Structure 1
C-alpha cells in the first residue's frame, strides 16, 4: 500500500505541476516521491514478477480510492467490476500452487 500511495501521490504531484500549472517545486517533490516508490518494491521478500503482480492489484484499488477521495469522482460499475477482476487475477498469480 505504501508503494501505491507513493506512485499515485508522486504522479499526482507531477500531474499538478504539468497539467494544472502548479509551481515546479510540486513537480520536484513528486519526482522524489516517484523515486522512493521505485525503491519500495525491492524491499519485498518475493521475486520481482510476483511482487509486481501483488502490487498491481493494490495499485488499481488505490487508484479508484484516490479518484473517489481526492478527485471526488465516484467509480462507475465498470471500474468496480474491472477492479475485482484485477484482484482475482493477481490473487491467482501470487498464490497459485507451484511445482
Structure 2
C-alpha cells in the first residue's frame, strides 16, 4: 500500500510540475511576454522529466498511466487557477480515466 501511495504522489507531483511549467510558458508566449516566465517554466518542465524517472515501472507503462493522472490534474488546475468549474462530462470522464489508470498500473498481475 505504501508503494501505491508513493507512486501516486510521484504522479501527482509530476503533473503539478508539467502543468505549472507549461502554464508559465503559456503565460510567457501568450499573455505576459516576459522571458523569465519562459525560463522558469522550461526549468520546471525539465524537472518534471526527472521526477518521472522515479516511477518503478518501464517508460511506456509509466507515461500511459501518467496521461490519465494528467487529465485529472488538468481539470483540477483549471478549477483552482483558471476558476473554471468542471462540468458533468469532465467529471465523469476523469473518473473513467482514473479507473483505467488504476487497472493498468496497479492491478495485480
Q: Give the TM-score of the pair, scaled to structure 1.
A: 0.89
**Which aligned runs of 4 or more in structure 1 are off by greater than 4 angstroms?**
none
Note if 1:12 corresponds to 2:23.
Answer: yes
SS in 2 for 1:46: coil
CA distance in 1, matches of 2:107, 2:79: 32
Note if 1:93 corresponds to 2:104.
Answer: yes
Note the residue ranges of structure 2 that are not aligned, 5 or more in a row. Answer: 1-11
Q: Give the TM-score of the pair, scaled to structure 2.
A: 0.82
Q: Which residue of 2 aligns with 1:44?
A: 55
Between the two proteins, the alignment pairs up a number of residues equal to 98
Greater CA deviation, 29-38 or 51-60? 51-60
Question: Pairwise mapping of residues 55-66 of structure 1 onto structure 2 (< 5 A)?
Answer: 55-66=66-77
Q: Please, which of 93, 96, 101 is the counterpart of residue 82 of structure 1? A: 93
CA distance in 2, matches of 1:74, 1:96: 31
CA-based RMSD:
1.3
Q: Please, which of 45, 65, 79 is the counterpart of residue 54 of structure 1? A: 65
